[in-house]
Amino acid sequence: MTEIYDFGKTCKGEKTCLFQITNMQGAFATVTNYGCTLVSLFVPDKNDALTDVCLGYETLQEYEKSDGYLGMLVGRCANRIAKGKFSLNGKNYTLAVNNGVNHLHGGINGFSSKVFGFEVKGNTIKFTAVSDDGEKGYPGKITLTACYSFTDENELILKYNAVSSEDTIINITNHTYFDLNGQGSGHAMEQKAMIFSRGITEIDENLIPTGKIISPEKNSPFDFSNLKPLCRDLNADNPQLKIAGGYDHNFVLNGDYDSSYGIFGLRKAAYLVGDDTSIAMEVYTTQPGMQMYTANFLTDRKGVIRKRYTKNAGVALETQNFPDAINHKEFPSPVLKQGEIYSHTTIYKFLTV
């Protein structure tokens, strides 16, 4: 069942809504069409108490004015594009830069701050938005649909589709910060994680991939082949961790393909457990990478229900193509050709262990 509430007007006067999708178990997700943002996600803990496992704000104004992309859909291209420059079909393009000299998450006012059109059907909301030809410097007019479902099995299913009027590049993700101990618990880094990957894309001092893939040694900071608390190696003496002030790296996924959802190319990406609540989350995706970001740049701010968030208040598991892929021939291509369809599915499934 999906209920729709008024979420106020943006500073430009656009009306927004807050949707609550409640499943048969009483668990629910709230989402706004401002940036297709996941505002809260209440799932049962080991005692069956509903627990909000994602960081969010109470008002639209906080979403509009705050950085950090809490819960938002980001794009046209998630993560960084070096110096905002790339070439496609022999033409050079320069994108708006918003992160030092680099382009980040589609630039200021990318998809994360658009008000999406919507259509509700049962436990699914289909959001639609357009990014015009030339917006932020990208070629082609993109029409993006994002279908968000929350199932009776406590699965949050995110399905993205996009088409472009011209050849372009695209990389859409969701930027939810998870704290399975309950949002604002103050010990999100004690969550345990396991990642199905063969390594990370190495970054330089500007957090831009060098092109090299680092395969971690057993038990080293980037080895998540066994479940371990995020805090175990967070401050380890490791050059990649030092650059980013924690984890802020793209993991090259190599998990087993999973046919249970009938979605082509869907594989297991990660597994996260809240040590306090015993809430666990399985992540599945059709994308080749996943940015694990331990909120290293998150500054102190007010969250929901008297909670405060600060550095390391959650972990984002952003399923995506590799950052700056257009400038690395060896990475999977982010090109969306005119007439083709971009499609990406990510599933976050919740259970208790």
Instruction: Enter the tokens of residue 47.
Output: 């005692």
Q: Spell out the SS3 assignment of the chain.
A: CEEEEEEEECCCCCEEEEEEEECCCCCEEEEECECCEEEEEEEECCCCCEEECECCCCCHHHHHHCCCCCCCEECCECCEEHHHEEEECCEEEECCCCECCEEECCCCCCHHHCECEEEEECCEEEEEEEECCCHHHCCCCEEEEEEEEECCCCEEEEEEEEEECCCEECECEECCEECCCCCCCCCHHHCEEEECEEEEEEECCCCCEEEEEECCCCCCCCCCCCCEEHHHCCCCCCHHHHHHCCCEEEEEECCCECCCCCCCCCEEEEEEECCCCCEEEEEEECCCEEEEECCCCCCCEECCCCCEECCCCCEEEEEECCCCHHHCCCCCCCEECCCCCEEEEEEEEEEEC
69 binds ligand GAL, rule: CB under 6 A: yes
135 binds ligand GAL, rule: CB under 6 A: no
104 binds ligand GAL, rule: CB under 6 A: yes
205 noted as active-site residue: no
Nearer to ligand GAL, 135 or 324 (CB): 324
Q: Which one is catalytic: 175, 249, 328, 344?
A: 175
- Nearest approach in angstroms of CB 175 to ligand GAL is 6
> What mask of x and - would describe binding to ligand GAL in positions 234 to 263, judged by CB under 6 A?
--------------x---------------
Tell me, what amino acid is at 80? R
Applying CB under 6 A, the span of 51-59, 185-193, 229-237, 289-297 interacting with ligand GAL comes to: 289-297
Q: In this structure, which long-range contacts are made by residues 234-242, counting pairs with CB atoms below 8 Å and at least 24 apart in sequence? A: 234/189, 234/294, 234/312, 240/200, 240/202, 240/203, 240/214
Phi, psi of 310, rounded to the nearest 5 degrees: -145, -170
309 binds ligand GAL, rule: CB under 6 A: no
Among positions 17, 142, 172, 207, the unique one binding ligand GAL when judged by CB under 6 A: 207
291 binds ligand GAL, rule: CB under 6 A: yes
d(C-alpha 220, C-alpha 231), whole Å: 13
> With CB under 6 A, what is the number of residues at the site for ligand GAL?
10
Applying CB under 6 A, the span of 138-146, 259-267, 290-298, 340-348 interacting with ligand GAL comes to: 290-298
57 binds ligand GAL, rule: CB under 6 A: no
Nearer to ligand GAL, 243 or 351 (CB): 243
- Nearest approach in angstroms of CB 278 to ligand GAL is 28
324 binds ligand GAL, rule: CB under 6 A: no
105 noted as active-site residue: no
293 binds ligand GAL, rule: CB under 6 A: yes
**CA neighbor of 197 nearest in space, from 247, 251, 268:** 251
- Nearest approach in angstroms of CB 99 to ligand GAL is 6
- Nearest approach in angstroms of CB 104 to ligand GAL is 6
Nearer to ligand GAL, 179 or 248 (CB): 248
Nearer to ligand GAL, 23 or 79 (CB): 79
Nearer to ligand GAL, 107 or 140 (CB): 107
Nearer to ligand GAL, 45 or 318 (CB): 318
318 binds ligand GAL, rule: CB under 6 A: yes
201 binds ligand GAL, rule: CB under 6 A: no
102 binds ligand GAL, rule: CB under 6 A: no
User: Which residues are annotated as catalytic?
Assistant: 175, 318
Binding site residues, ligand GAL, CB under 6 A: 68-69, 79, 104, 207, 248, 291, 293, 297, 318
